[in-house]
Amino acid sequence: MYKSILFLFLMLLVFNLYAQEDLTILQQNNDKKINIDAAYIFGSEIKNGGTMAFGILLYNKGRWNIRSHTGIDSYTIIMPTEETYTLGITEKITFTGQNSIIGIGRPYGYIDGGVSFYGNKSKEKLFSTPLWYKAGFGCGADINIVKNMAWFTEFGVVYHIMENKYQWRQILTIGMRIY
């Protein structure tokens, strides 16, 4: 699996080197007020996940860029006794400087939190209480493809709280961002 991720990253890098016109694309994407994200989520004990988010620019002055991403996510978590399915609302705040990665993208940090409905064999109804809470943080990078579009990857940790059970999980997200 790590070979596929490395291959995907290298292919995106090669395609990006050919598609990149100049550093103004990076600045134009950073200045956009609205963005839409779609991504695949996987990680430790997490499978079959995805997210859709709508982002707005909160602050862009000098070297700082802060965005708010409100989204819906869903994934399956493999618990010791059973699989748990989640459907939730997440709020993520990303913060970055205007620094580029060799002119092709930008690194950023993020914090996020949310609440989810969940279902498993012991809780048959998805839309019932108790709820699943989560909070996390991590880092990511946008890799610009063309004007108004970037691939992104994020790595972080998520702290899940469910029925008095507390668990840390690593999470990796790969997706596309349209500005």
Q: What would the pLDDT profile of 28-46 be if each residue is shown by its tens digit? A: 655 678 888 999 998 888 8
Residue of 119, 137, 147 whose CA lies nearest to 22:
147
What would the mean pLDDT of 107-131 be, rounded to a whole number?
83
* pLDDT value for 91: 96
**Tokens read off for 69:** 């991403």
Beta bridge partners of 130: none
CATH code where residue 117 lies: 2.40.160.20
| Whether pLDDT at 64 is above 60 | yes
Which of these ranges, 8-22, 58-72, 146-160, 162-176, has the smallest mean pLDDT?
A: 8-22
* More confident site: 30 or 120: 120
* pLDDT value for 80: 75
C-alpha to C-alpha distances, 132 to 88, 113, 167, nearest whole angstrom: 8, 11, 11
**With bands split at pLDDT 50, 70 and 90, how would you rate the model's confidence at 16?**
low
Q: Report the chain's mean pLDDT, rounded to a whole number.
A: 80
**With bands split at pLDDT 50, 70 and 90, how would you rate the model's confidence at 18?**
very low
Percent of all residues in the chain with a pLDDT value above 90, rounded to a whole number:
32
**With bands split at pLDDT 50, 70 and 90, how would you rate the model's confidence at 103?**
low
Please count the structural domains in the chain.
1
Domain range for 160 is 2-178
* pLDDT value for 155: 95
* pLDDT value for 143: 85
Which of these ranges, 69-78, 117-126, 129-138, has the smallest mean pLDDT?
A: 117-126
Beta bridge partners of 79: none
Three-state SS at 13: helix
What would the mean pLDDT of 148-156 be, rounded to a whole number?
90
